[in-house]
Amino acid sequence: MDLNQLLTSVPFYAGDVDQETDITGITIDSREVKPGNLFVCIRGFETDGHRYITAAINNGAAAVVAEETADVHVPLIVVSDTKRSLAQLASRFYSNPTRDMQLIGVTGTNGKTTITYLLEEIFSRNNDSTGVIGTIQTKINGESYEVANTTPDSVTLHNFFHTMKEEKVDTAMMEVSSHALDQGRVFGLDFNVAVFTNLSQDHLDYHKDMDDYLRAKSLLFSQLGNQYEPGREKYAVINIDDPAGDVLIRSTAQPVLTYGMNRGDIHAEKVVTDESGVSFTMVTPLGRVDVKSGLMGTFSIYNMLAAAGAAIASGVSLETIAAAFAQTKGVPGRLEPVFAGQKFGIVVDYAHTPDSLENVLSTVRNVCKGQVRVVVGCGGDRDKEKRPQMADIALRMADDVYFTSDNPRSENPRQILDDMTGHLSGSFHRIEDRKQAINEAVSSCEDKDILLIAGKGHETYQEINGVKLDFDDREVARNAFMYRREET
């Protein structure tokens, strides 16, 4: 695409671009620049793209977008906000691909991944071609791609959606993080449905307080726009059992579908939860339908109500929704059982916030016929305020607690454990090495106990001092039991 044509998406800029310059791609990483690329300088938390202009040009950049002038021999476009311009340029370069599919965005502290998986099951059963962008992976018609962030940068996003468009995707589901909303990574994406799950403490290492966290979440709903366009209807699906729900309802001009356990446009009646899953009657504006699912816990019902709201807003029948819920096997690392022939339960879950840990422990407690044991830690370089809260929850709700490392990242694991346990009294185990903690927890289990290994879920690594080492809670737990069995 010619640079002048591409710059029609950026209304105000300074720079001489009279000559024809063919742009072959857009990137924010100077190391990834290929001949003909447009290099956009982004100021990040760890580095500043302006420092790498020369490196980008040496690698073949045909033009540069920056927030300050520089002495270069290629066209230099100066804008006031490169993050905003990046999204505008990416949308133009990839021909605004989200206008050609239905896009559902899911935001909230917990439940985002499960809801996108439920929606993928629903729309696949509805004979739609689907795409998913989320924490675990990006999927396009069943083919998986790894992603670095819950919500990638805007160039990566538009590139993925361009591929989805070429692959004839009808409906795409996307987890939308507060970081991505705050940093403008989703600018230029045309959402049809925005879903809110809940708001509990997380990411206060980034947001100054919970009000700021909520403000970031509200952007997804305000950015649905003010117009009601026939054939391009937009909806908000909001959990009204969460106190933040009222704020988000006021944040959007679009029609709202509310959901809750006992109230809302979509809610549940005749709820039964046990070790086999959940069953309930789902009440909706379209009527009632009986739901039975192998997913466990009250929070799973919330996730299903949210997914049902998005599907109903998209015109899917109740029968198709209920059939999808019955079929869903669950999400990797979310209440995922580990089987190795043991007579007690081992469950791995991604729970890494106070709210999610409490929800999962409550679910385990409700079905456990023996003792509830938990292995739990907190990640380094993240919200420190939640560390004592999570320790309190673990000690209150489990019979046997093993505090250990999660992903320490650049922090000292011992300091993280001090933050978690320094205020505690009572009996608990403190084992810095995560593998050792899991081994000892597995060794302590007796028949009918359930061991919850919390915090890392689907992850297959442990990050220590900037290095990602192979580590999978599921494999470690399985090997621990196999070793225990050999010893006996």
Distance CA 237, CA 312 (A): 10
Using alpha carbons, select from 129, 159, 20 the residue that is nearest to residue 7. 20
Q: Tokens 């505008």 label which residue?
A: 88
pLDDT, average across residues 383-394: 96
Residue-level pLDDT at 120:
96
In single-letter form, the type of residue at position 486 comes to: E
Residue-level pLDDT at 244:
94
Using alpha carbons, select from 177, 200, 380, 218 the residue that is nearest to residue 299. 200
How many CB atoms within 10 Å of residue 264? 21
Task: Quickly name the fold that domain 3-93 has.
Answer: 3.40.1390
Distance CA 120, CA 130 (A): 6
- Cα-to-chain-centroid distance, residue 22: 36
Q: What are phi and psi of 296, to 5 degrees?
A: -105, 150
Domain segments of the chain as ranges: 3-93, 97-327, 336-487
Which SS3 state, helix, strand or coil, does residue 125 take?
Answer: helix
Those residues with Cβ within 8 angstroms of residue 208's Cβ, 6 or more apart along the chain or in another chain = none
How many CB atoms within 10 Å of residue 211? 9
Residue-level pLDDT at 148:
59
Contact 261, 242 (CB under 8 A): no
Which pLDDT tens digit goes with each residue over 286-308?
999 999 998 988 999 999 999 99
Range name among 149-163, 202-216, 271-285, 387-401 with the lowest pLDDT average: 202-216
CATH tag, 97-327: 3.40.1190.10
Paired residues of 235 in beta bridges: 193
Tokens of 459: 């992850």
**Alpha helices for 265-353 (secondary structure H):** 298-313, 318-327
Which pLDDT tens digit goes with each residue over 165-213?
999 999 999 999 888 888 888 988 999 999 999 998 665 666 668 888 8
Tokens of 279: 């069953």
Which SS3 state, helix, strand or coil, does residue 208 take?
Answer: coil
Please tell me the total number of residues recorded for the chain in this structure: 488
* Position 149 pLDDT exceeds 90: no
Q: Mean pLDDT in the chain?
A: 93
Which pLDDT tens digit goes with each residue over 203-258?
566 666 888 889 989 999 999 998 888 888 999 999 999 999 999 999 999 999 99
* Position 366 pLDDT exceeds 90: no
How do beta strands 267-274 and 256-259 pair? Answer: unpaired
Residue-level pLDDT at 206:
65
Those residues with Cβ within 8 angstroms of residue 255's Cβ, 6 or more apart along the chain or in another chain = 233, 234, 235, 236
* Position 45 pLDDT exceeds 90: no
pLDDT, average across residues 33-46: 92
Q: What are phi and psi of 265, to 5 degrees?
A: -60, -35
Range name among 189-203, 320-334, 432-446 with the lowest pLDDT average: 189-203
Across 51-158, where does the E strand assignment appear?
A: 63-66, 76-78, 102-107, 130-133, 138-140, 143-145
CATH tag, 336-487: 3.90.190.20
Residue-level pLDDT at 140:
93
Residue-level pLDDT at 204:
64
How do beta strands 256-259 and 235-239 pair? Answer: parallel
